[in-house]
Amino acid sequence: MSLAQIRYFVAVAEERNVGRAARRLHVAQPPISRQIRSLEEELGSPLFRRTPRGMDLLPAGEVFLEHARGILVAVEVATDATRRAGS
């Protein structure tokens, strides 16, 4: 699992749509879709229900979203602390 996959997952979960998440992240839609599928395979559980209107979080997705946000915050805090220590 990579930080990119976690960032993509959070964006899709918040936007409820891969296209909007792609625009928000300034990346193409196909890589996001591939990374989400790869993440689901790695976790062994679907995280989203795909609908014609977008993506709905499944219970496993709700659980992962809470942790994924925490991971991204922790990485940001670690990055900022490291930069301050190096200055």
> Per-residue pLDDT tens for 37-67?
999 999 999 999 999 989 999 999 999 999 9
DSSP label at residue 50:
E
* Helix 18-25 / helix 3-15 crossing angle, nearest 10 deg: 120
Output the pLDDT for position 86.
Answer: 84
| Structural domains in the chain, sorted by start | 3-86 (1.10.10.10)
| Mean pLDDT in residue range 60-77 | 97
Element (H, E) at 29: helix 29-43
Q: Model's pTM, two decimal places?
A: 0.91
